[in-house]
Amino acid sequence: MSRTHPVSGCRELAFRAGYAVDDAGEVALEDYAREVTRAREVEAVRGEGVSGLVTGLHLCGLDAEPVPALRADIEDFARDLAVRSGGGGLGWS
């Protein structure tokens, strides 16, 4: 999977804000999104520049766009990672 070569069933989930999560937090976010959407593959999208905030996700292997409530749930998880654990993902499961 690659964002530069999307295939059928790939979707972009853009967040309303960017979230500061470290590498472990990024893996946790990808795992969480994969589990709740049943996507085959998920890749975090980081914003350009120094901050490198996670600004969304690229999901592949979906039949349809995630419903708004599910999109909000995934963004809430990203926000929670950034605020409550200092951006780390360990211990989320």
The pTM for the full model equals: 0.85
> What is the biggest distance separating any 2 CA atoms in the chain, rounded to whole angstroms?
36
Q: Burial, 59: exposed, middle or buried (Cβ in 10 Å; 0-12, 13-18, 19+)?
A: buried
Alpha carbon distances (Å) from 76 to 2, 22, 60, 70: 25, 16, 20, 10
Dist CA 78 CA 70 (whole Å): 13
> Within the chain, which residues score under 70 in pLDDT?
1-7, 50, 85-93
Residue linked to tokens 């890749």: 43
